[in-house]
Structure 1
């Protein structure tokens, strides 16, 4: 195995970042960083887990920055800055490195993919519209598929259609392929096609002050109680969930992760009850029972954690 010092000579992630604002140079720099071998990856992950070695964590992050760049390119169609998408993906990567367990027998790239996509998805959903357009699992799936499916429809002449609204036939196709109700497709299309409202219009043409919705919005984000509640939610959603999962057996943990925590490329969730039943050779009802018992145990763990 090559010496760890040779694998990544750069000690700090900031050393590879070029001049401020030069995104192309940053992408070029991270693409030149060498990937770690499986043995090197396990060694650095072990140092981080056992000794809290931050230098080892930095090397794990550095070797996967190119993965973030690759994933972020898939989300450029939402009109958000590429640099911001990369930044959010890097946050997800760092979360993955912090929680990565080298004893699980998987490579960091597979484990980090979920965290990177989750952070980018959350950023898009929060910033693409001031009002959230997708809150439920089904709505998220619609949000990340509606645009691409709409662009892929063909008109009668065989050319891609650019209609502003969907036809009844197109709505039926989307509902069937995404396994949602046609009313949900119509609702999401309405949300996504709605116009944005300027919160702060600035001075009016006559020089007088113009008023917009921002004048009526109070910023309560820094209110102490709200800050404490937000911090507690963050801890419960990360460390609390991780601790609760650790208390489950391998089968129960995988069922919960597939059913509730996994996010696919299209924004949908993991395996269904029937798919898990086929894999484990039991009935779907048995999988549901295992899931229910695991969730009950996790709720007790989260209550104790809180």
Structure 2
């Protein structure tokens, strides 16, 4: 990936920032920690911009703009400056490295592909180390099949070989828009989306099903009006509920035997059939 003139100016400015001596760094950190001195925090951050640039260059092979990588790294740098505790007597650069790398890695994972990858620590390690480990194995004296390479990488990163195969396939291909024309002949050209089959009903089938459903609900409501209260209770519990009740359960509720519940249910079903046949021309119970 080429570096633009703006990126080169930004890198030059970052590399020209003065270093901080250990005592000066500690004094600025104390001023920020104890007095919330924003100027002190900014001086610490600017003095370590070269660390951000150095870290960002390690991720430029992912095809993302260098300026964006540096900006994300700077966010991590500011986070490190806000959290830095001078009482630990650790150099700020050592502490900030983790935050800068984490911020850039999160940006790469969010923007490298329109397909979101795994965000677990194991998946991140696989994403950022697979190419390096594969190249190292390729430089060895042994001849390894693709499966053997995946096995060794899986063992090194403590993930499954299936995860390695999936990630390898992702890194070896690029995103393709489903709306991109296949022939390049302009807007009238067919795209990949046109060839994706759908299991959903066609629009006219959906409308027909909706109309038929409304008609059936109307017929059922009319037929149910022919039932008495006990018959309607049994039909709703046995035939219309998501989880139907047993004959014995309904018998306990209604205070009758389960055989009597069966008789009432059969009589109610016959009433419904008769009502549907007599009131809806062309209706068939077959």
- The 8 Å contact of residues 72 and 103 in structure 2, kept in 1 or not, is answered as yes
Q: Which residue of 1 aligns with 2:17?
A: 33
Write out aligned runs for 1:17-28 (5 A): 22-28=6-12
Deviation, structure 1 residue 37? 0.9
Q: Which residue of 2 aligns with 1:187?
A: 166
1:43 to 7, 11, 27: 27
- The 8 Å contact of residues 52 and 73 in structure 2, kept in 1 or not, is answered as yes
2:111 to 78, 103, 127: 127
- The 8 Å contact of residues 76 and 99 in structure 2, kept in 1 or not, is answered as yes
Q: Closer, same or farther in 2 for the Cα pair 1:172/1:198, shift >3 Å?
A: same
Q: Which has the larger radius of gyration?
A: 2
- The 8 Å contact of residues 68 and 90 in structure 1, kept in 2 or not, is answered as yes
- 2:147 and 2:54 map into 1 onto residues whose CA distance is 36
CA offsets 1:267-303 (integer angstroms, 9 cap, x no match): xxxxxxxxxxxxxxxxxxxxxxxxxxxxxxxxxxxxx
- 2:143 and 2:53 map into 1 onto residues whose CA distance is 29
Q: Closer, same or farther in 2 for the Cα pair 1:104/1:193, shift >3 Å?
A: same
- 2:189 and 2:147 map into 1 onto residues whose CA distance is 45
Deviation, structure 1 residue 201? 3.9
- 1:90 and 1:132 map into 2 onto residues whose CA distance is 24
CA RMSD of aligned residues (A): 2.9
1:100 to 73, 84, 88: 84
TM-score of the superposition, structure 2-length normalised? 0.58
Write out aligned runs for 1:70-149 (5 A): 70-149=54-133
Q: Closer, same or farther in 2 for the Cα pair 1:183/1:46, shift >3 Å?
A: same
- The 8 Å contact of residues 152 and 160 in structure 1, kept in 2 or not, is answered as no
Q: Which residue of 1 aligns with 2:151?
A: 172
Deviation, structure 1 residue 113? 0.7
Deviation, structure 1 residue 61? 0.8
Q: Closer, same or farther in 2 for the Cα pair 1:79/1:206, shift >3 Å?
A: closer
CA offsets 1:202-255 (integer angstroms, 9 cap, x no match): 8x7344598888xxxxxxxxxxxxxxxxxxxxxxxxxxxxxxxxxxxxxxxxxx
Write out aligned runs for 1:1-306 (5 A): 22-154=6-138, 167-198=146-177, 201=180, 205-208=185-188
- The 8 Å contact of residues 122 and 158 in structure 2, kept in 1 or not, is answered as no
Which consecutive unaligned segments of at least 5 residues does structure 2 have? 194-286
- 1:205 and 1:26 map into 2 onto residues whose CA distance is 41
> How many equivalent pairs are there?
189
- 1:58 and 1:212 map into 2 onto residues whose CA distance is 50
- 1:118 and 1:140 map into 2 onto residues whose CA distance is 10
SS in 2 for 1:77: helix
- Highest relative contact order (Cα 8 Å, sep 6+), 1 or 2? 1
